Chains A and B, each alone.
Chain A
């Protein structure tokens, strides 16, 4: 199993579009991928959009990502890249 801390940097947090991207990315791998809030109030199956949305992860939220399975390293790399890119939104600079 591999794990890694990721942070939500895009303005709207894990909203519908970002959540959809995340689920599509996670679903491309065989490994089980989970996300857990830093405050441990919720954890989600990263391949379920309903589950991901329920994390209610807004900007600034830290999540512990875990992947377990044959392609866990690749899955984790892809996931980290997605978070680092702010889900491809260019408007991810901090609020003024």
Chain B
């Protein structure tokens, strides 16, 4: 933790997990969504009636707010994800809840806030007893609704609505409804104490392009609304009370980043391949999950969709989309991707999404029944999805990606089922395009047998996030072991090289998708290792493009070779810092490179 004195106090620095990229200089807006402090007050008999009316008015206010939130969520995330707000609306109108609260006010002469809290606590106690995991989770919906009523009783709108121009949301954690309520015109970034890479908040922040850092431990307690703050979600740093030097450094960074985005966005329609200075052609594609991101795919000139995360089609808590619903979604993706095509990754889900459909909670879900394993077990799910993709391929170029395959056994089983559906559709007289089947290489065993897998698939898709997690045995959502999550670990680089090499020898294309591809410094290493296709969040494309245009492939290759020789992750990072600063100081300001590890 670095401390420098400035006019406002001490500059303090936190390191967290950046879950959505970007750099922002702004002011703190502290948001509470933990337990609101509620006190009991005893009313005079004559005030009871007025208290009941106040409660009813609050319900009406909360209802109006919720309707507005629901409409916004429908627009941004699609109707299938907005239904949760419909359930919240019904809870607000619930006779049992309203009845319990009003009875308590009347009989106990209690203030409405206390009555709401008592009624909610009683309900939550009952939900805690429910054996079904999925239904028990509905408790968080009750908390969310209760919170909303309490805010409305305070007469206020939720805090999130009162945003200044440069507001950085600082919270312990954000409930899904709070995220949907963010006034995105004004919220500039999110920083939370809790949360992991895969939290709902992180995913939504990422897809809507607001920088977000999670896992900041005690930032919320230390920050005050109005404090100056810098959020560097490239590196995962947050500076509270930043010094003038820090602010200026970051302001210059954001100015140049804005210029890059602007410049590239206005060139959106440009044609011709992207090449390094020495002529190596590199293709940049987009990772997509939410409809809200579709516009960015075109705007930033992605060459089609490298990774479509189909699991986002599942509604908030796991209702399976029907074949027709999927067909519609995939046709939309095909139209969006145009002639460059789209890779549809089959559902990357674990059994936990299905409300206990697969029995008891798994002790170790990351190593459990998920992704292709889940689809092979729930064969009807795989068949429905395959049919929808095959049918949609009549409308545009689509390929299928099999997630988390361990070796050829998974590929063969999935292929047999997909071909089965293909034959059936053909018998039904349906038109089907040429749909390739690719393998996601992210499990170490798949890396080790990449040469064999390459012979039986049409392409590779390297998922670096999971590869790093499985190869280094590090849970990327666990803050305690964040120091062990090293994307530049020599073993990771060797695995990537080995996979790319296997693809080359089998004459199949290989695409690298995952956070590494969208991070300029890492992208250079990937290119040096032989990657020619990178897929990333569309908003990352301008930054990576600028770097690709500014380097020589031969230099990247040389550095990658030197990195492969390194003994440990620290050495690779040091190598990257030194060599990048020598060769490309104009492309990589010091803060854009991996920070040296400091002993705390």
Residues of A within 8 A of B (CB): 11-17, 19-20, 23-24, 45, 47-51, 53-54, 56, 58-59, 89-91, 93, 95-96
Contact = CB atoms under 8 A, between A and B. Distances in A.
B86 interface: yes
A20 B83 contact: yes
B90 A89 contact: no
A54 B130 CA distance: 8
A47 B318 contact: no
B380 A13 contact: no
A15 B96 contact: no
Given A20-B86, A45-B96, A95-B357, A15 B319 contact: yes
B126 interface: yes
A51 B99 CA distance: 12
Interface residues of B, number: 40
Contacts of A47: 95
A56 B95 contact: no
A50 B357 contact: no
B236 to A, nearest CB: 34
23 contacts: A12-B317, A13-B134, A13-B355, A15-B317, A16-B317, A17-B86, A17-B87, A19-B90, A23-B90, A47-B95, A50-B96, A53-B127, A53-B138, A54-B127, A89-B319, A89-B320, A89-B322, A90-B322, A91-B319, A91-B381, A95-B378, A96-B377, A96-B380
A11 B353 CA distance: 11
A96 B376 CA distance: 10
Which 9 interchain pairs have the tightest Cβ spacing? A90-B322, A91-B320, A16-B87, A49-B90, A48-B96, A56-B130, A12-B355, A20-B87, A17-B83
A50 to B, nearest CB: 5
B484 to A, nearest CB: 37
Contacts of B278: none
Contacts of B322: 89-91
Nearest to A47: B95
B90 A45 contact: no
A96 B375 CA distance: 11
A16 B127 contact: no
A41 B165 CA distance: 54
Contacts of B315: 17
Contacts of B94: 48-51
B84 interface: yes
B355 A58 contact: yes
Contacts of B379: 96
A50 B132 contact: no
Contacts of A12: 134, 317-319, 354-355, 357
Interface in B127-144: 127, 130-132, 134-135, 138, 141-142
Interface in B287-330: 315-320, 322-324
B97 interface: yes
B378 A53 contact: no
B130 A20 contact: no
Given A13-B355, A15-B317, A90-B322, A20 B90 contact: yes
Contacts of A54: 126-127, 130
Interface of B: 83-84, 86-87, 90-91, 94-97, 123, 126-127, 130-132, 134-135, 138, 141-142, 315-320, 322-324, 354-357, 377-381, 384
Nearest to B318: A12
- A interface majority secondary structure: loop
Contact of A11 (B84, B96, B320, B377): B320
B104 to A, nearest CB: 15
A13 B95 CA distance: 22
Nearest to B324: A90
A59 B87 CA distance: 20
B384 A91 contact: yes
A42 B380 CA distance: 33
B95 A90 contact: no
Contact of A96 (B97, B138, B378): B378
Contacts of B87: 16-17, 19-20, 49
A11 B131 contact: no
Contacts of A56: 130-132, 135
B286 to A, nearest CB: 29
Nearest to A16: B87
A14 B87 CA distance: 12
Given A50-B97, A56-B131, A56-B132, A11 B357 contact: yes
Contacts of B378: 95-96
Contacts of A51: 94, 96
Nearest to B86: A20
A22 to B, nearest CB: 10
B324 to A, nearest CB: 8
A15, A48, A51 pick with most chain B CB within 10 angstroms: A15
Contacts of A19: 87, 90
